[in-house]
Amino acid sequence: MHRIRDPLASLFSIPTVPKQKWIALTIGFVTLVSTLVVIPYASTPLWGVTPFFPIFIAWNMFGDFMTSHLLYIQYRATGYKPILILSGTFFFTGLIMIPHLLTFPGIFSDKGVLYAGTRASVWFWGCWHAGFPAGILLYTFSIQKESYSGSEHKNKTAASTVMFIVVVLVVGMITYILAGQHEWLPTLISDSSHGLLLSTGIGPIVWVISLVACMYLYVVTRGRSLLHLWLLLSVFTFFLDVSITLLANDRYTLGWYAACVNSLLSATVVLFVFFYQMNQLNVKLHHSQRALHNSQEQIAIILDSITDAFLAVDKQWCYTYMNKEAEKYLGFSFEVVKGRSIWDINPHLKQTKLYEVCHQVMERGEPAEITEFDQLHGRWLENRVFPSRNGVSVYFHDVTERIVAEEQMKEANKKLQMANRLLTDFSYTDGLTGVYNRRYFDRMMNQEWERVKKQKSPLSLIMLDVDYFKKYNDTYGHLAGDECLRRVAQAVQNTVTTPLAVVARYGGEEFGVILPMTDLRQAVAIGEQIRLHVESLKVPHAGSEVSLVVTCSLGVASCSIEDIQDSEPNTLVAKADQKLYRAKQSGRNRLVAVD
């Protein structure tokens, strides 16, 4: 099943359709026409409704803060840094309104609060109406420099924290300067008139910044994505807000109220699109989940009705499905093992051909079939392994009766040879770790010793010991110790790829690696790979005195035809053991070698 992404994660890249463009154009056109109609009467005084302004600011703050939060969620989903800049822009706009409201004359007191006098409020308005388009300019510039890929980025939390701190510090610094040093501020409004706001150049500068931001955003984005289409409308109505405010010439005039309406539209239009799109995606998600649930039920009925046992695993080898026949054969229900590794539940499978075939199918994406004896249940199984988008699927059924019938037709000596081979495998394999045991190690040492004499080729030996293993058992218990040895053995087995090499459990927590036709330099390189691989398993070891994870110490020895005259294989073992002892004495988690 596909993983359904966060609905907000794709809003940036959702293309606009003609209907959406026409709606945005219609709203923008109606707003523009309404503004043009109001302009000749912008200075017409209306009733001074004092509660209107706090409600207006609260609405704006809600719209900007919610938009900032939803953009932040989108940034968390995509990791696209320009979205974080846009989120910070709306956050700044909502935050700067707080001191603007507190210092606005006639709301909380005649001169406002924060000891700011009557001059600070209009300066906060200027910072608000210059800061938002400045943030839009920065955002537009950033999307030109960084293309959207949809891939994950690291350090998203750190970047978000920096953005939050920077915006808060900027607003705090502006508040300190404008409120704390208000007596030094030039007067921008005299007798409630905006004339000085225009004549000082502050108003025109804010107007130009808003116009440039709107044009720059349009040139770069053309409103191609859903987010950019409505962001353009937000910036455009913000520009109209600035324009009509400068022409209103006074507070509580027709132009002033019209500017407030434009400001409300600017603050909420993107938020409305977020909510609308989330609702649409939620409806689609609901329908998709319902259809998916119905499909899963139908598939489950079909799979449960087939006579073959069937199971499926994901790319991490965790169970994702199992039909009734599989549950019946394996002896446990799917709910018990759901989400757990098939190799952890069935460790004996790691030593089977099925284990290799499953990995080949996973890597190559080609189906395979194998008939193999299930040692745990004592049955012959015909396994068919198929690749899937999310892992592999395995069909298997019991063919024991067929195999037995075929075997009865074969000669008695062939059946005996098969039994002997199975017995030999058991006798030479360590039951805990799955690698070879001490008996096989001794046999192969003698065999390779004779090879050196005949072929005059080098022979190397690695002896390794798990560091502080007794303390590991004391700390975590013997069951955990057994699992630790299995993982270490598997790590060694996976690391040693030299032809004819033998990995064996020598005894307890000690392992031996026989390396035919390998000189000391090569053996040291292999040993170091083993040490690093074991350490990379990151098996916790609170009782270790050298590391927080399980490590191993290694001794490496090598011999040639000149070294083995009148000596025995145990000589090489003793040398490697001696170097292993030195590795332990030198602090463990290291390799010591000898010529």
Burial class, 539, CB count within 10 angstroms (exposed 0-12 / middle 13-18 / buried 19+): buried
Return the bridge partners of 461, or none.
514, 557
Q: Is pLDDT of 25 > 90? A: no
Q: Is 316 helix (H, G, I), strand (E, B) or coil?
A: coil
Q: Name the least confident of 229-233, 371-375, 563-567.
A: 563-567
pLDDT confidence bin for 581, thresholds 50/70/90: very high
Number of helices (H) and strands (E), helices first, in the chain?
20, 10
Put residue 352 in one of left, alpha, beta given phi > 0 → left and psi -120 to 50 → alpha.
beta
What mean pLDDT is predicted for residues 219-243?
85
Q: Looking at residue 527, what is its pLDDT? A: 95
Residue 557, token pair as written in the block: 């020895």
Segment holding 255, helix H or strand E: helix 254-305
- Is residue 129 predicted with pLDDT exceeding 70? yes
Ranges 240-249, 378-387, 525-534: which has the least confidence: 240-249
DSSP designation for 179: I
Confidence of residue 411 (pLDDT cuts 50, 70, 90): low
| Sheet strands (E) in 286-359 | 309-314, 319-322
Predicted pLDDT at 511: 96
Query: What is the average pLDDT across 559-576?
Result: 83
Q: How far apart are CA 537 and CA 488, in angstroms?
A: 8
* pLDDT score at 432: 93
Whether the per-residue pLDDT at 93 is higher than 80: the answer is yes
C-alpha pair distances (Å), 443 with each of 82, 457, 501, 570, 588: 67, 19, 13, 12, 29
- Please check the confidence at residue 449 and state whether its pLDDT lies above 60: yes
Task: Please tell me the distance from the alpha carbon of residue 255 to that of residue 51, in angstroms, as a whole number.
Answer: 18
Give the dihedral sign, CA 422/423/426/427.
negative
Closest CA relative to residue 85, chosen from 147, 127, 132, 128: 132
- pLDDT surpassing 50 at residue 6: no
In this predicted structure, the answer to whether residue 145 has a pLDDT above a threshold of 90 is: no
pLDDT tens digits for range 308-321: 788 889 989 999 88
Encoded amino acid at 157, one letter: T
DSSP 505-545: EEETTEEEEEEET--HHHHHHHHHHHHHHHHHT--B-TT-S
Stretch 347-354: mean pLDDT: 87
Of the chain, the percentage scoring pLDDT greater than 90 comes to 31
Cross-strand partners of 193: 190
Q: Which residues contact 312 (CB under 8 A, 6 or more apart)?
A: 319, 320, 321, 322, 388, 391, 392, 393, 394
Position 302 scores a pLDDT of 59
Taking each helix axis as running N to C, give the angle between helix 202-221 and helix 120-145, from 0 to 180 degrees, rounded to the nearest 10: 20
pLDDT digit string (tens) for 482-495?
A: 999 999 999 999 99
For the chain, the average pLDDT equals 83
The percent of residues in the chain predicted with pLDDT above 70, rounded, is 81
Full strand arrangement of the beta sheet holding 391-398: 319-322, 309-314, 391-398, 379-388, 368-374
The type of residue at 237 is T
pLDDT in tens, 130-141: 999 999 999 999
Neighbours of 498 (CB within 10 A): 17
What tens digit of pLDDT does each residue of 182-228 get? 667 666 665 555 656 776 778 889 889 999 999 999 999 888 888 88
Handedness of CA 11, 17, 18, 20 (dihedral sign): negative
Give me the helices (H) in 42-155, please: 52-78, 81-102, 120-145
pTM above 0.75, yes or no: no
